[in-house]
Amino acid sequence: MEYNNMYKTILNELDQVFDRINLDQVEDLISAIEKHKRIFLMGVGREGLATKGFAMRLMHFGKEVHWCWDDTTPSVTEDDLFIFTSGSGEIGHIHYVVEEVKKTNATIALMTGVPDRKTASLADIIVWVPASVYKGKDNVVPSIQPMGNLFEQSLFILLDMIIIMLVDKSNNSFKKMSVRHRNFE
């Protein structure tokens, strides 16, 4: 496939995904983020990279944020929000952590490409990103790209959009957020 057709096809895939995202689900996640002081996050692989970027932006926004596997991560309590990303909705070690977090009565949010798999059954909030995922099976936007690329790209963009929406709904600003950026680079 030639370059111009390829990027236009990929942009069209992304357009289709965002046309199908349920804004009510996104608003539920935003409300949970606004409500909770401490937010924990977990994702793996390329979707984990998008989730780590979101963790950084939530910290810039002013939340107390913890990445699941950091050695300094404290215990989860019922007052916390834990956001998981799992494209296929049944990644073994993510599901195990969700089961453990469920025991704490923390609020569990799951962003997934397959909302009818076992991990989603434990979540309080589900955001379905209807993009082709690795080992997915639902009625999602198909992709010319390999494995879960479309889901991962959609996730990265959606998470950035959520930050913008949070800023728009608050007295926060990008300028205030930039003050929280690491200052020893």
Which two structure tokens, joined as six digits, stand for 45? 């692989």
In the numeric block, which tokens belong to residue 123? 């979540």
Residue tagged active-site, from 27, 90, 100, 152: 152
Residue 111: closest CA among 132, 125, 121 = 125
CA angle (97, 31, 90) in 5-degree steps = 25
127: Cβ contacts below 8 Å, ≥ 6 apart:
21, 22, 25, 26, 28, 29, 109, 110, 111, 112, 158
Is 27 assigned a catalytic role? no
Of 88, 92, 100, 108, the closest CA to residue 46 belongs to: 88
What SS3 state is found at 125?
strand
- Rounded (5°) CA angle 155-170-126: 35
Residues labelled catalytic: 152
